């Protein structure tokens, strides 16, 4: 994740994105894949040249799959698994999916695991598979004929004006959240998550809710895959602590990031759900830790509800 703390002249207007400025100073607590930037806006209000470039996920490239009769075999098998999942009420076990598609269980497992890393499939309690957040996001966009960023933007601006802090829209991709839209306040000092940057699920408020929505098994699987690396002294590095906090947040409808990704930064996050009730995206408030207020939870929940209502109606305006 790349977080930047911007300084604007007192009377400056909110800058348009972006005419790149040439310099940035990396913070002392920076880690691989994560940096804190203290930036002074130039007269043109520009951002650093790399501010809007997506960060690499570090995922290895896979070999080109074999083709059969002009089609790509692994894609055909994935489609067969998705069809079988749909026929079984959008939730099924590996045994059922393998039997219905005629695939060996180990082959089906590998394909489903890869699909899960890309947000197309999620594995929940008892090892049962369901459609993932990315797949449901695509379906919702097609149904509403709109971009979720465009749909959420007016509500994000409303929430920004209520709390006078940065508002973020995130999507899940594999074991990370990706920042896809933001609304920034007219403040001299503010926290910003750079569009296109990424963060591990366990260090973000929204990420904890996404993990908890898959159940305790999903949290344990995530911990086993990633090792729960520490980004600050406050990062949750024990799976028991992560599950307790994440499940509590899911019950309450919101979660916190208490300087777990960046020292000095605190966030409040909620889920945005599609018309079927599945997690679609995340909405969060990012602020300097001393300025964050717990009473904002009701405002961000109201904002998420407004976005869900717009999504169900497919409205653009």
Q: What is the pLDDT of residue 196?
A: 87
- Alpha-helical runs (H) found in 239-286: 239-252
- Domains with residue ranges and CATH for the chain: 2-50+142-313 (3.30.450.40), 67-131 (1.10.10.10)
Of 54-68, 200-214, 234-248, the range with the lowest mean pLDDT is: 54-68
pLDDT at residue 156 above 90?
yes
Give the Cα separation of 155 and 178 in Å (integer): 19
pLDDT digits (tens, 9 = 90+) for 101-115: 999 999 999 999 998
- Coarse DSSP helix, strand, coil percentages of the chain, rounded to the nearest 5 percent: 40, 25, 35
- Higher pLDDT residue, 71 or 236? 236
Question: Residue with structure tokens 């929430």?
Answer: 159
Mean pLDDT highest for which of 22-26, 69-73, 223-227, 271-275?
223-227
| Out of 7-21, 61-75, 81-95, least confident range | 7-21
Q: pLDDT tier at 45 (50, 70, 90 boundaries)?
A: very low
- What per-residue confidence (pLDDT) applies to 221? 93
The residues near 264 (Cβ < 8 Å, ≥ 6 apart) are 36, 288, 289
- Tokens 């990706």 sit at which residue? 178
Question: Measured between alpha carbons, how far is 213 from 211 in angstroms, rounded to an integer?
Answer: 5
The top-scoring range by mean pLDDT among 67-71, 137-141, 283-287 is 283-287
- Is the pLDDT at 56 greater than 80? The verdict is no
Q: Which residues contact 110 (CB under 8 A, 6 or more apart)?
A: none
Q: pLDDT over 90 for what percent of the chain?
A: 49
Q: What average pLDDT does the segment 31-49 reach?
A: 34
Predicted pLDDT at 69: 53
Cα atoms in the Cβ-side hemisphere of radius 13 Å centred on 42: 12
Give the pLDDT of residue 47. 35
Whether the predicted pLDDT of 137 surpasses 70:
no
The pLDDT tens digits for 228-237 are 999 999 999 9
Residue 42: is its pLDDT beyond 70?
A: no
Give the pLDDT of residue 304.
97
| Mean pLDDT score, 191-200 | 87
Does residue 85 or residue 1 have the better pLDDT?
A: 85
pLDDT at 275: 81
Is it the case that residue 15 has pLDDT exceeding 90?
Answer: no
Using DSSP bridges, classify how beta strands 35-40 and 25-26 pair: parallel, antiparallel or unpaired.
antiparallel
pLDDT value for 88: 84
Q: What is the pLDDT of residue 71?
A: 60
Kindly give, in sequence order, each residue whose CB lies less than 8 Å from that of residue 32, ignoring residues fewer than 6 positions away.
none
């Amino acid at each position: 994740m790349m977080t930047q703390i911007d300084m604007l002249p007192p009377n400056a207007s909110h800058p348009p994105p972006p005419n790149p400025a040439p310099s940035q100073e990396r913070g002392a607590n920076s880690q691989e894949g994560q940096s804190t930037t203290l930036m002074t806006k130039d007269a043109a209000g520009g951002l650093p040249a790399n501010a809007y470039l997506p960060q690499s996920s570090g995922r290895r490239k896979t070999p080109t799959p074999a083709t059969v009769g002009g089609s790509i075999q692994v894609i055909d098998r994935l489609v067969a698994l998705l069809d079988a999942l749909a026929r079984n009420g959008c939730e099924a076990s590996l045994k059922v999916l393998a039997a219905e598609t005629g695939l060996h269980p180990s082959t089906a497992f590998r394909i489903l695991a890869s699909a899960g890393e890309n947000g197309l499939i999620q594995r929940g309690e008892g090892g049962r598979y369901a459609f993932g957040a990315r797949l449901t996001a695509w379906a919702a966009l097609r149904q509403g004929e709109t971009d979720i960023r465009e749909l959420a933007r007016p509500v994000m601006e409303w929430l920004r004006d209520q709390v006078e802090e940065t508002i973020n829209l995130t999507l899940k991709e594999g074991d990370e959240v990706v920042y896809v839209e933001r609304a920034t306040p007219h403040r001299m000092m503010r926290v910003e998550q750079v569009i296109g940057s990424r963060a591990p699920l366990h260090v973000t408020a929204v990420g904890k809710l996404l993990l908890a929505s898959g159940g305790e098994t999903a949290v344990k699987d995530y911990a086993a895959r990633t090792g729960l690396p520490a980004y600050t002294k406050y990062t949750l590095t024990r799976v028991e602590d992560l599950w307790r906090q994440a499940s509590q947040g899911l019950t309450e409808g919101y979660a916190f990031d208490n300087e777990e990704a960046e020292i000095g930064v605190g966030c409040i996050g909620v889920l945005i759900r599609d018309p079927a009730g599945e997690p679609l995206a995340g909405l969060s408030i990012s602020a300097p830790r001393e300025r964050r207020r717990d009473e904002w939870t009701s405002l961000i929940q109201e904002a998420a509800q407004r976005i869900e209502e717009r999504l169900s109606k497919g409205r653009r305006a």
